[in-house]
């Protein structure tokens, strides 16, 4: 069901005269790496190097590929327009094709009159047929344009749902096409609109209300646990598209202005083991928002987003809670 666009990749490799090619795939596609490498090698005669480190997004291009290869082929994500990239890097937007109409027919009784359509890059071309189907069934559809971090209309990232935010006032509900909960959760938290998920992997239609409520309760509890903290670790990721060092400096100043201690900790891969050596009552992540929202249970200490730190410091009310976003 995946289209890895190998004709396009071969043309790129040959046009660059590359003798060695680095292949980078996100976790969900890594099992295809060897087969892709075999086919590209047979067709171009270039050597293939598979980059085995975890990769979660276009924010996470390997900075080391040029030590091993002439070009980098990054599968699975659209480029982030606001981040400049070398012409020796090719982004391959791997499409995941399926028949969305049966899911739409099941969802139809729950679809409101004015809806916004959002999806991940795998399904962006599908938005046209989803819109046509819903409009032929009496609904009005809006597909928003995101900021400079977003390549396609209607596309969302876990850290950036500006394409949804742009049309939130025009819609009563969002429809998300794709799998997993993190992207529709981000849409729900940021737009405060109900979200209906059409999930081709689970073959189900589901709402996000219960999960959104549960996550909000968990986030409130994390802030409460950190409230009396004296020392905070501000985490900065050195991944090219997650690096918010200036924000970390600003947060550290604001923490210190309240008489508390703050350390800025820079690392590439952030995880519970990497944080073990550091004394802190709580950590604040300026890296991918998924770390705090999705992975909190893996961390023994509260792990807050910058927005949640503002709530803790009394600079923002809980009613004004927002999803942590990395804007372009």
Output the CA torsion sign for 271, 276, 282, 284: negative
Question: Which residue in 17, 163, 151, 158 sits closest to 85, CA to CA?
Answer: 151
* C-alpha closest to that of 93 among 111, 77, 107, 106: 77
Contact call for residue 25 and ligand SF4 (CB under 6 A): no
The answer to whether the CB of 152 falls within 8 A of the CB of 180 is no
Convert residues 56-95 into a mask of x (bound to ligand SF4 by CB under 6 A) and - (unbound): xx-x------------------------------------
For position 282 contacting ligand SF4 by CB under 6 A, the verdict is no
222 binds ligand SF4 (CB under 6 A): no
Q: Is 76 left (phi over 0), alpha (psi -120 to 50) or beta?
A: left
* Residues 241 to 270 in contact with ligand SF4, rule: CB under 6 A: 241-242
Shorter beta-carbon distance to ligand SF4: residue 10 or 83: 83
Q: Between 44 and 155, name the residue whose CB sits nearer to ligand SF4.
A: 155
Least separation, in Å, of the C-beta of 272 and ligand SF4? 18
Q: How far is the CB of 158 from ligand SF4 (least distance, A)?
A: 3
Q: Using CA atoms in the order 30, 31, 37, 39, what is the torsion angle rounded to 10 degrees?
A: -130
Closest among 148, 146, 143 to 156, alpha carbons compared: 146
Beta carbon nearer to ligand SF4, 57 or 302:
57
Residue 108 to residue 309: CA distance in whole angstroms: 40
3-state DSSP call for residue 252? helix
Please tell me what DSSP assigns to residue 168.
G
In whole angstroms, the minimum distance from the beta carbon of 251 to ligand SF4 comes to 17
Site string for ligand SF4, 133-172 (x = CB under 6 A): ------------------------xxx-------------
Q: Which of 152, 206, 244, 290 binds ligand SF4 (CB under 6 A)?
A: 290
Residue number with CB closer to ligand SF4 (89 or 134) = 89
Class of residue 144 by CB neighbours under 10 A (exposed 0-12, middle 13-18, buried 19+): buried
Report the residue from 9, 288, 304, 323 that binds ligand SF4 according to the rule CB under 6 A.
Answer: 288
Strand, coil or helix: 110: helix
Question: Given candidates 18, 48, 134, 326, which one binds ligand SF4 under the rule CB under 6 A?
Answer: 326
Interface residues toward ligand SF4, by CB under 6 A = 56-57, 59, 157-159, 241-242, 288, 290, 326
């Amino acid at each position: 069901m995946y289209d890895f666009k190998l004709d396009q990749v071969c043309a790129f490799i040959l046009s660059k005269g590359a003798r060695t090619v680095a292949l980078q795939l996100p976790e969900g596609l890594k099992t295809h790496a060897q087969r892709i490498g075999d086919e590209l090698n047979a067709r171009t005669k270039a050597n293939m190097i598979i980059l085995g480190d975890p990769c979660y997004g276009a924010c996470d291009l390997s900075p080391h590929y040029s030590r091993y290869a002439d070009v980098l082929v990054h599968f699975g994500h659209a480029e982030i327009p606001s981040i400049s990239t070398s012409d020796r890097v090719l982004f391959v937007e791997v499409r995941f094709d399926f028949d969305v109409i049966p899911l739409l027919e099941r969802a139809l009784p729950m679809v409101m009159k004015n809806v916004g359509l959002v999806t991940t890059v795998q399904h962006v071309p599908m938005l046209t047929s989803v819109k046509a189907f819903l409009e032929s069934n009496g609904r009005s559809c809006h597909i928003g344009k995101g900021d400079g971090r977003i390549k396609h209309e209607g596309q969302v990232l876990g850290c950036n749902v500006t394409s949804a935010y742009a049309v939130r006032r025009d819609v009563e509900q969002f429809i998300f096409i794709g799998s997993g909960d993190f992207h529709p959760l981000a849409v729900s938290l940021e737009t405060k609109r109900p979200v209906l998920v059409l999930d081709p992997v689970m073959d189900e239609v589901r709402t996000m209300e219960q999960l959104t409520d549960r996550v909000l309760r968990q986030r409130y509890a994390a802030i409460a646990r950190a409230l009396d903290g004296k020392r905070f670790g501000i985490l900065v990721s050195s991944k090219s598209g997650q690096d918010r060092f200036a924000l970390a400096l600003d947060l550290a100043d604001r923490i210190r202005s309240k008489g508390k201690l703050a350390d800025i900790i820079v690392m590439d891969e952030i995880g519970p083991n990497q944080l073990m050596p550091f004394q802190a009552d709580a950590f604040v992540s300026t890296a991918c928002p998924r770390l705090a929202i999705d992975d909190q249970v893996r961390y023994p200490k509260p792990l807050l987003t910058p927005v949640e730190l503002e709530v803790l410091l009394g600079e923002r009310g809980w009613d004004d809670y927002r999803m942590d976003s990395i804007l372009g």
